[in-house]
Amino acid sequence: MYWTVKVDGGPKRVNHAAVELNGLIYSFGGYCSGEIYEGNEPIDVHVLDTETYRWRKLNVCCEKITETDSSGSTRSLMPYQRYGHTVVAYEGKAYLWGGRNDEHGASAQMHVFDPEKIHKGDQIS
Protein backbone atom coordinates (compact mmCIF):
# COMPACT_ATOMS: atom_id res chain seq x y z
CA MET A 1 0.00 0.00 0.00
CA TYR A 2 1.21 3.51 -0.76
CA TRP A 3 -0.18 7.02 -0.71
CA THR A 4 -0.89 8.59 -4.09
CA VAL A 5 -2.74 11.87 -3.56
CA LYS A 6 -1.77 14.98 -1.65
CA VAL A 7 -4.73 17.24 -0.90
CA ASP A 8 -4.09 20.75 0.41
CA GLY A 9 -6.60 23.13 1.90
CA GLY A 10 -8.51 20.76 4.15
CA PRO A 11 -9.47 21.43 7.74
CA LYS A 12 -6.73 21.11 10.38
CA ARG A 13 -8.17 18.60 12.83
CA VAL A 14 -7.42 15.82 15.28
CA ASN A 15 -9.99 13.60 16.98
CA HIS A 16 -12.53 14.29 14.22
CA ALA A 17 -14.68 11.67 12.49
CA ALA A 18 -15.21 11.15 8.76
CA VAL A 19 -17.42 8.98 6.55
CA GLU A 20 -18.04 8.48 2.84
CA LEU A 21 -21.55 9.20 1.57
CA ASN A 22 -22.37 9.13 -2.15
CA GLY A 23 -18.76 9.59 -3.27
CA LEU A 24 -18.07 12.50 -0.90
CA ILE A 25 -16.09 12.33 2.34
CA TYR A 26 -17.71 14.24 5.20
CA SER A 27 -15.50 15.28 8.13
CA PHE A 28 -17.32 16.22 11.34
CA GLY A 29 -15.85 18.41 14.09
CA GLY A 30 -12.56 17.56 15.73
CA TYR A 31 -10.00 19.61 17.61
CA CYS A 32 -7.72 22.36 16.29
CA SER A 33 -5.47 24.35 18.62
CA GLY A 34 -6.50 27.97 18.92
CA GLU A 35 -10.23 27.27 18.63
CA ILE A 36 -12.59 27.46 21.61
CA TYR A 37 -14.61 24.33 22.38
CA GLU A 38 -17.15 25.67 24.83
CA GLY A 39 -20.85 26.33 24.57
CA ASN A 40 -23.33 25.28 21.95
CA GLU A 41 -21.70 26.46 18.72
CA PRO A 42 -22.76 24.00 15.99
CA ILE A 43 -20.30 21.35 14.87
CA ASP A 44 -18.48 22.16 11.65
CA VAL A 45 -18.78 19.87 8.63
CA HIS A 46 -16.22 19.79 5.82
CA VAL A 47 -16.64 17.85 2.57
CA LEU A 48 -13.99 16.41 0.28
CA ASP A 49 -15.08 15.85 -3.32
CA THR A 50 -13.28 12.62 -4.27
CA GLU A 51 -13.31 13.49 -7.97
CA THR A 52 -11.80 16.99 -7.76
CA TYR A 53 -9.97 16.58 -4.43
CA ARG A 54 -11.30 19.93 -3.25
CA TRP A 55 -12.52 20.68 0.26
CA ARG A 56 -15.47 22.91 1.10
CA LYS A 57 -17.15 23.81 4.38
CA LEU A 58 -20.87 23.21 4.68
CA ASN A 59 -23.14 25.73 6.33
CA VAL A 60 -25.48 23.26 8.02
CA CYS A 61 -26.60 25.57 10.82
CA CYS A 62 -28.77 28.03 8.92
CA GLU A 63 -31.61 27.51 11.41
CA LYS A 64 -31.38 27.05 15.14
CA ILE A 65 -33.50 23.93 15.60
CA THR A 66 -34.55 23.42 19.20
CA GLU A 67 -36.85 21.29 21.31
CA THR A 68 -38.38 21.93 24.71
CA ASP A 69 -38.51 19.08 27.22
CA SER A 70 -41.21 18.43 29.83
CA SER A 71 -39.41 20.63 32.38
CA GLY A 72 -39.50 23.62 30.02
CA SER A 73 -35.78 23.53 29.21
CA THR A 74 -34.87 24.26 25.60
CA ARG A 75 -31.92 22.61 23.88
CA SER A 76 -30.52 22.67 20.38
CA LEU A 77 -31.04 19.66 18.15
CA MET A 78 -27.93 20.63 16.19
CA PRO A 79 -24.89 18.82 17.52
CA TYR A 80 -22.56 21.27 19.23
CA GLN A 81 -18.87 21.39 18.37
CA ARG A 82 -16.99 18.41 19.76
CA TYR A 83 -14.03 16.12 19.38
CA GLY A 84 -13.44 12.45 20.09
CA HIS A 85 -16.83 11.42 18.68
CA THR A 86 -17.76 8.58 16.35
CA VAL A 87 -19.55 8.78 13.00
CA VAL A 88 -20.75 5.84 10.92
CA ALA A 89 -22.46 5.74 7.54
CA TYR A 90 -25.65 3.70 7.22
CA GLU A 91 -28.13 3.76 4.34
CA GLY A 92 -26.91 7.12 3.00
CA LYS A 93 -26.90 8.98 6.32
CA ALA A 94 -24.20 9.74 8.89
CA TYR A 95 -24.85 8.83 12.52
CA LEU A 96 -22.80 10.89 14.98
CA TRP A 97 -22.51 9.72 18.58
CA GLY A 98 -20.69 10.88 21.68
CA GLY A 99 -17.64 13.09 21.81
CA ARG A 100 -16.98 15.96 24.17
CA ASN A 101 -16.39 19.68 24.40
CA ASP A 102 -14.82 21.69 27.18
CA GLU A 103 -18.08 23.03 28.62
CA HIS A 104 -20.41 20.04 28.42
CA GLY A 105 -17.88 17.24 28.89
CA ALA A 106 -18.76 13.87 27.36
CA SER A 107 -21.97 13.56 25.34
CA ALA A 108 -24.33 10.60 25.12
CA GLN A 109 -26.37 12.13 22.29
CA MET A 110 -26.96 10.56 18.86
CA HIS A 111 -27.45 12.82 15.83
CA VAL A 112 -28.33 11.92 12.23
CA PHE A 113 -26.93 13.88 9.27
CA ASP A 114 -28.77 13.48 5.96
CA PRO A 115 -26.80 14.94 3.01
CA GLU A 116 -29.93 14.78 0.83
CA LYS A 117 -31.46 17.58 2.93
CA ILE A 118 -28.65 20.04 2.20
CA HIS A 119 -29.51 22.64 -0.41
CA LYS A 120 -26.89 23.99 -2.80
CA GLY A 121 -27.37 27.42 -1.19
CA ASP A 122 -26.23 25.98 2.13
CA GLN A 123 -22.74 25.19 0.84
CA ILE A 124 -19.78 27.50 1.30
CA SER A 125 -16.89 27.05 -1.09
Q: Using one digit for the tens of pLDDT, what is the confidence trace for 41-52?
A: 889 999 999 998
Average pLDDT over residues 63-78: 63
pLDDT digits 0-9 by tens, 11-30: 888 999 999 999 999 999 99
**3 burial type by CB count under 10 A (0-12 exposed, 13-18 middle, 19+ buried):** exposed
Q: What does the DSSP assignment read for 28-95? A: E--B-TTS---TTPBPPEEEEETTTTEEEEE---SS--EEE-TTS-EEESSPBP-EEEEEEEETTEEE
Query: Where are the domains positioned within the chain?
Result: 17-115
